[in-house]
Amino acid sequence: MNGAESLVRTLVNCGVDLCIGNAGTSEMHFVSALDRVPGMRAVLGLFEGVVTGAADGYARMAQKPAATLLHLGPGLANGLANLHNARKAQAPVVNIIGDHATSHQRYDAPLSSDVEAFAATVSHWVHSSREARNVAADAARAVQAARQAPGQIASLILPADTAWSPALGPAGALPVLPPAPVSSLAIATAATAIRKGKAALLMRGALLHGAGLKAAGRIAAATGTRLMADTFAPRIRRGAGEISVERIPYRPGPALDFMAGIETLILVGTQAPVGFFAYPGQPSEFTPPGVSILQLAHPHEDGGAALEELASLLAGSATARTNPLAPPAAPQDGTLTRETLMAIVAGRLPEEAIVVDESITGAFGLYGMLETAAPFDCLQLTGGAIGDGLPMATGAALACPDRKVVTLQADGSAMYTLQALWTQARENLDVVTIIYANRSYKILVEEMKGVGAEIGKSAASLFDLANPALDWVRLAEGMGVEATRAETVAQFDSALTAALKAKGPRLIEAVIG
């Protein structure tokens, strides 16, 4: 048994049964080992940003890590943006990064780079194996690190000779510590603040789709406490029968208005809200002056248990209020707009779908329209590095093959990782991609206005995607995905209905008026 086989067998022993990769010469022995080790599924991504983004989406839905396989420093660098998103999502990911053989590292070969330095920018744990006999133990430690609460990025660097050299047998899974308990003082302090009134719970992580959310709903029903989520949540449960959670607006002015009336903001698994960027004359912090901030639970602590204890103190027999099944009425025909598109999606969304939202300006202000749709899970762009939508949908479909995935996707950011469509076709993944074809980087037009900069002809040309116009039907079909274009309400409704009934990947280019 060589080091590569001991690594793959260890990953399987540790519960990692999916490898999403784009390999090169230094990873050939790992690739070969996949044929000798049962239990590991291998999926090819044609670009490393697809690989890492798919690992992100998979982890958010499967609640466990997949392994990525990346080729040296440049391959890792191609995947850094979506590893950044995964890190901000607190998604567990194990990166296996090939490197030059140790005997070759003293030469300045064309692909030589500081792999550890690249990995450190997005990883909580980085290690380079130096001997084949240690590879299995190192792999077990990588999985342990990735699964550490609330979820981490672990990067194991594998020099080629440690993969091809003889090794010891595989290692078993290492114990993973449970989330740390929340102190009784933090719970008592939060209870006192909630009893005073005008409090809000700002939640993140598993608290937005697990038992903790139900406990928060009981607290809200009994005390009037507001329930909030960050502007972009890794995963949030929404729709009919679910508890309504407010979403903090993106821009400072609306965010501060949103916070009006709160006297105590209680953080559960997250930090106090701040803006994505600084704007001239506007605050970076979204908490109004005078608001008291309490930390009930840090991200590594058991916020769900803390909320359940709070509910037992405050809610008594109160029952959480949930959303009714009452999607907005969709128009019969007319111009296809952001609003009419979302109304149709809300009415047609199948029960237990997974919605991946990288619509940017396309659907952001229409968050509430899906509140009374059929129940679903929603994944959002946590780190702000665009190009995660199509890969995340790919990973979510790999994690949950029995659930329909619907991607709300801006056209500009889709171009970053359109290769994900090829992987969806190759794996026959059940994903419906809706492209918001507004032919521009509209968010950047808004940002220019937000920072007070003038937009002239040259500036506008950097945001324009209409010359030439992207043809998403032909792009998708070139990747093996059946596609259609919709320019009216009736055309979009018909296309979406057909796509949701079908199995396998479909794409709809929605031309927004």
Taking the alpha carbons of 5, 10, 11, 13 in that order, is the dihedral positive or negative? positive
What six digits make up the tokens of 374? 């059929």
SS3 119: helix
Question: Which domains can be identified in the chain, with CATH numbers?
Answer: 3-164 (3.40.50.970), 184-314 (3.40.50.1220), 338-511 (3.40.50.970)
What six digits make up the tokens of 226? 């507001």
pLDDT value for 456: 74
Q: What's the CA dihedral at 213, 361, 376, 507 to 10 degrees? A: -160
**512 strand-pairing partners:** none
Burial class (CB in 10 A: 0-12, 13-18, 19+), 280: exposed
Query: What predicted TM-score, i.e. pTM, was given to this entire model?
Result: 0.95
Helix (H) or strand (E) holding 393: helix 389-399
Residue-by-residue pLDDT tens, the chain, 513 positions: 999 999 999 999 999 999 999 999 999 999 999 999 999 999 999 999 999 999 999 999 999 999 999 999 999 999 999 999 999 999 999 999 999 989 898 999 998 999 999 999 999 999 999 999 999 999 999 999 999 999 999 999 999 999 999 998 999 999 999 999 999 999 999 999 999 999 999 999 999 998 999 999 999 999 999 999 999 999 999 999 999 999 999 988 999 999 999 999 999 999 999 998 888 888 888 998 999 999 999 999 999 999 999 999 999 989 999 999 999 888 888 999 999 999 999 999 999 999 999 998 888 888 899 999 999 999 999 999 999 999 999 999 999 999 999 999 999 999 999 999 999 999 999 999 999 998 766 666 667 666 677 777 666 666 677 778 899 999 999 999 999 999 999 999 999 999 999 999 999 999 987
What count of other Cβ atoms lies within 10 Å of the Cβ of residue 113?
Answer: 17
pLDDT value for 449: 64
